[in-house]
Structure 1
Amino acid sequence: MKERDIDQTISVYALRLGDDALILGHRLSEWCSNGPFLEEDLALTNVALDYVGRARNFLNYAAQLRGNGSTEDSLAYQRDCRDFTNFLMHELPRGDFAFTLARQYLLDEYEALFLAELLKSKDSDLAGIAAKSAKETSYHLRRSREWMLRLGGGTDESHRRLQLALDELTGYTTELFEMDDLERDLCEIGVAVDRSALFDRWFSAVSKTFAEANVTLPPASWAVKGGRIGFHTEHLGHLLAELQYVQRAYPGCRW
């Protein structure tokens, strides 16, 4: 692969990771002023800010590699739904508190493994972003795992809602571990992470937590995918309408 081709391929890879962080960060930001109590309101908002910061790093790197005048802002605010490549799980409506925390826990366990491997990337920029993000994820994982135990071992209602959330989320987890040719090519040169190799460790970790919480992660009897190639749920369009409103209403506005 030629150097220019490698740069463009890494740009697509960085864009994917930036989209994941941006969309999930926006979903978490919807809890700002809506948390069940003050401490958790602040905690969720801070986690959202971590993801937005992560998105900025990945999108800025993707823009640099593109070399066509793109910026982190143009990539975030001036693309349409089909141009976004985030996992479908990230764009699902926030749901209730149990749904948000269940999704967060499933993703935190995944990201802890993923970022530990991305730290080994031969691309120093990706490895550097991973190093910062891994520290944040260790905190995210600690608190989301604690919430799984609190909700699962709490009232009948909290237990019911947590189990319902897992029932709704299970089919979206399959996409986290499916590779495509672009990622396989980058794996061969030591840049990307083989996500398919993470599944066994992820499943072992989440199964242990849910056993302690007395809830069950159902078998993946159904699965949806398509986020990486621009096929999304209807929810992403509504999310982007809010996320991109100012830039769409006032193109090129700066302040």
Structure 2
Amino acid sequence: NAEFTEFSDRYMDTLFDICRQEVDAEYKKRIITEDLLAIFAAGGHAREQAYDDDYDIIVLLNSDDEEILSYCNKIVSKMNSDIIKRGTIPHHRFADYFGRFVILMREIEQLLSEDRPDIFIEKSQILGARLVVGSHRFENEFLERVVKPQIFDKKEDYIKQMIGEIHSRHTADKKQLLPASNIKESSGGLRDIEMMMLILKAKFNLKGPVNSKLFEDVARLQSNLENDLKELADALNFLKNLRDVYRLTAGATDIIVLEALRSPANIMGYKSGAELYRKFVAMRKKV
């Protein structure tokens, strides 16, 4: 994961520079975007996990200038074409809201200020984002203008909505509306752990990426939670490894089928698929 993340981040940074040079040649000038434009990774890549079939991106612009906005959209469009050529689908978070790839900082501020019961979805995307292209000055302003006032300062509401969503999915799981072997969505699966990580980040105003190191950061602040946090970290590593190996050997699905676990069991060091499946069930119960 670490090596793949480092490679992907460098690729995105280099690709941005190349595409900007191409757009500069079309404009016959350079439009200054330093400290104004930033590209954030979202989803699994923001958590520094190797992704498979898509790349979640949030592109933010801290300017209302129409020429700069058009210029930046052209750069990102060229980046999209190159990413697609390499067999990966760029998924632009918030593009459906605003009808373009590049989103204005003030638009995100307005969106997250909406008072509705499902606003935790958009807030989670922002809270989990990780800067890939852009300056630390932009990142700091993003934190002060967006993350702090809309999430950290309203953490009680955010955490309440997140807990409500977890309970709602657990209820659906008990009613068998979700497949019992879904490694991501069922009770104790990856989604539960990821949501708990976001809750912890909001609770303690943490600035780092949402990855396994977050458990260590929280343990230093709350030593009484150290054992529970270690169990969550162990569960996250096991479930993520199982999901990756299963997707490589059995199929690109989150539904774990016992009969398809022979190869994953061999790779992960288990005697049989049944033993690995029992570990999978036990880990989810522990979460």
The two structures have a TM-score, normalised by structure 2, of 0.28
Q: Which has the larger radius of gyration?
A: 2
More strand by percentage? 2
More helix by percentage? 1
- Answer 1 or 2: higher relative contact order, Cα 8 Å, separation at least 6: 1
